[in-house]
Chains A and B, each alone.
Chain A
Amino acid sequence: KAGVTQTPRYLIKTRGQQVTLSCSPISGHRSVSWYQQTPGQGLQFLFEYFSETQRNKGNFPGRFSGRQFSNSRSEMNVSTLELGDSALYLCASRGKTNTGELFFGEGSRLTVL
Chain B
Amino acid sequence: LAKTTQPISMDSYEGQEVNITCSHNNIATNDYITWYQQFPSQGPRFIIQGYKTKVTNEVASLFIPADRKSSTLSLPRVSLSDTAVYYCLVGDLSLLSGSARQLTFGSGTQLTVLP
Contacts and interface: CB of A to CB of B under 8 A. Distances in A.
Interface of A: 4, 31, 33, 35, 42-45, 48, 50, 55-59, 90, 92, 94, 96-107
Contacts of B106: 42
B100 A102 contact: no
5 contacts: A4-B43, A42-B87, A43-B108, A56-B103, A97-B95
Given A45-B102, A100-B93, A90 B43 contact: yes
Q: What are the nearest 5 A-B pairs in CB distance?
A: A104-B43, A101-B46, A43-B105, A50-B95, A97-B95
Contacts of B96: 97-98
Given A43-B44, A97-B95, A100-B93, A56 B32 contact: no
A4 B45 CA distance: 12
A42 B108 contact: yes
- Interface residues of A, dominant DSSP: strand
A56 B107 contact: no
B105 A45 contact: yes
Interface of B: 32, 34, 36, 41-46, 49, 87, 89, 93-96, 100-108
A104 B45 contact: yes
Given A55-B100, A102-B44, A97 B105 contact: no
Contact of B105 (A42, A48, A59, A94): A42
Given A96-B93, A97-B95, A104-B44, 14 more contacts: A31-B95, A42-B87, A43-B87, A43-B105, A45-B103, A56-B100, A56-B101, A56-B103, A98-B94, A99-B49, A99-B93, A101-B34, A102-B46, A104-B43
Contacts of A102: 34, 36, 44, 46, 89
A109 B51 CA distance: 33
A86 to B, nearest CB: 16
Nearest to A44: B105
A99 B103 CA distance: 12
A1 to B, nearest CB: 16
A104 B44 CA distance: 6
Count chain A CB atoms within 10 A of each CB in B49, B100, B102, B104 and give the residue with the most.
B102
